[in-house]
A and B are shown apart, each in its own frame.
Chain A
Amino acid sequence: MVIAERKPIEEILAMVADFKKVLLVGCKGCVTVCCAGGTKEVGILGSALRIARKKAGNPLALVEHTLERQCDPEYIEQLAPMLENGEFDAVLSMACSVGPQFIAKRYLKQVFPALNTTFIGGSLEHGVWAEFCQSCGNCIIHNFGGLCPISRCSKSLMNGPCGGSSGGKCEVSNEIDCVWQLIYDRMTALGQVDRMRKIFPIKDWSTSRDGGPRKITREDLKL
């Protein structure tokens, strides 16, 4: 899923400083699962903003609302009764960056992102998330024991490990596992370490962002 985290409160306060009536919109998708922008986080941020603004002598009228998802126009449409009558002068979205863009596309309002969209990843343990995919658009992890060197090697090496792999850690940080050590261990355990002798060829990045913004059209699903 998409992993995101909330921007620092000071940054959000600065973004909405000139606005008096703000609609704070959460999302029940990925950002609810990663505890960044669901109903609960909307409540916490809403209270924090109200208190800070009141303390600053610049009270903020803020309404909280959480959508099923912000990455589908049908849910964005549900905001119409609130955003088409001049009740709010700005929208603060707690979705991944798709949400504020969809809201901005549909409504002529100032829209602010309350989150930083950080990566495609998963939860390692309660409260810890890590990156597992860089959406290169052409999955090759089966060549590497099911682990992704594009997203998990600091240099995206396809023929690692580099000389900086030390004690299972990446030279960039002790916090980062060397994915090439993990690949080696797994290939060894699977009895496939000989496959690592093969040079992985030069990658075609045109399926990645390097080919320009991407779009999928499924004719079989179109109405």
Chain B
Amino acid sequence: MKAGSNLEKVLTSGHFAITGELGPPRGANADVVRKKAEFLRDKVDSINITDNQTSVVRMSSIAVSRIVIEMGLEPNAQMTCRDRNRIAIQSDLLGASALGIKNVLCLSGDHNKFGDHPQCKNVFDLDSMQLIMTLKHMRDEGKVLGGQELDGVPKFFIGAAANPFGDPFDFRVTRLAKKVEAGVDFVQTQCIYNMDKFRTFMKQAVDQGLTEKFHMLAGITPLKSLGMARYMAKFVPGLEVPDYYLKRLQGVEKKKQADEGIKIAVEQIQEMKETPGVAGVHLMAIEWEHRSPEIIEAAGLLPRPKLD
């Protein structure tokens, strides 16, 4: 065991994993966190806590992770390179470990232009690849990047993201291979809707022997409505929503679109279970945490394994 997190135990014991996601509140109200996290109790193996996603100021991912730990749940703290240099990153990682955080997801971070403070200075001292290397260095060498030995080594199960639909498509598996080489233990993908293209991507990863070296969790985001599906298709760069899903949502009356979106998500999870190289799914029900349990239940992923 590298970190001994629940997620690591579930994945290494060969169970099909499911992780959830919680977006911290735009305020200091910890009860919002507790309410959202409660929906995911006993439903997921670990909960991603986003780090100021879309560059909007929210409660700190590490603080929210700790709140989640105090509820007896397991967080996967997301960390971006946008807002911190290597000093702050390593400092926050040491603090995260001291607070009991065992899973960390390494991201470059959404560009600040999209957020509520587009006037800010961004950092990007490291990129996501180098952030993975930093965590591995701290964990496996017991040192900071500057060479100083650590008194107390942070043990992290190291995660990263991958977008199989970013361009150039032919380079996507190579970039995944680089993340594996950098030291990643698990990867969660961007939301997948184009299943054919995802299978092509996974086949390349499996053929190159990559999936034996890390655990792949496929990203699923239920479509809440036709409007959301159209928005995702049109305006989210590097995200593809095939016409057949748009048509399916169009084919039902507005009130029932949410249920249809959930049906689609459940079907996708079923397909993911059968896709070679996929070790689990990452359910990103954006501001829809309360609908996550029924999706997970319908996908036949309950009860979750209890491992010591």
8 Å CB interface, B121-177 against A? 122, 124-130, 133-134, 145, 161-163, 165-168, 171, 174-175, 177
Chain A: residues with Cβ within 8 Å of the partner, total of: 30
Interface residue? B178 (CB, 8 A)? yes
Q: Does A146 contact B (CB under 8 A)?
A: no
| B86 part of interface (Cβ distance < 8 Å) | yes
Q: Is B190's beta carbon under 8 Å from chain A?
A: yes
Does B113 reach chain A (CB closer than 8 Å)? Answer: yes
Q: B181: which A residues are within 8 A, CB to CB?
A: 199
> Which residues of A have CB within 8 Å of B168?
161, 165, 181, 184-185
Is A196 part of the binding interface, using a Cβ–Cβ cutoff of 8 Å?
yes
Q: Are B127 and A196 in contact (CB under 8 A)?
A: no
- Do residues B108 and A199 form an inter-chain contact, with CB atoms below 8 A? no
Q: Which of B272-297 contact A (CB under 8 A)?
A: none
Which chain A residues border B237 with CB–CB below 8 Å? 164-166, 169, 171
Complex contacts, B125 vs chain A, CB 8 Å: 205
Total B residues in contact with A, Cβ cutoff 8 Å: 35
Q: Which of B86, B125, B168 has the most CB of A within 10 A?
A: B168
Contact with B along A186-208 (1 / 0, CB 8 A): 00000000001101111001000
B242 on the interface (CB 8 Å rule)? Answer: no
Complex interface: chain B residues within 8 A of A159 (CB): 127-130, 175, 178
Q: Are A199 and B133 in contact (CB under 8 A)?
A: yes
Interface assignment of B182: CB less than 8 Å from any CB of chain A: yes
Tell me, rounded to whole Å, the shortest Cβ–Cβ distance linking A178 to chain B: 7
CB distance from A170 to the nearest CB of B (A): 8
Q: Within 8 Å of chain B (Cβ to Cβ): is A160? A: yes
Given A163-B162, A202-B145; A172-B130 close (CB under 8 Å): no
Question: Once bound together, how far apart are the Cα atoms of A165 and B161, in whole Å?
Answer: 14
Pairwise interchain contact A166-B167, C-beta atoms closer than 8 A: yes
Using CB atoms and an 8 Å cutoff, list the residues of chain A in contact with chain B.
Answer: 154-169, 171-173, 178, 181, 184-185, 196-197, 199-202, 205
| 25 A–B contacts, CB within 8 A, in A order | A155-B108, A155-B127, A156-B127, A157-B127, A159-B129, A160-B127, A161-B168, A161-B171, A162-B166, A163-B166, A164-B237, A165-B167, A165-B168, A165-B238, A173-B113, A181-B168, A184-B171, A199-B130, A199-B178, A199-B181, A199-B182, A201-B130, A202-B130, A202-B145, A205-B125
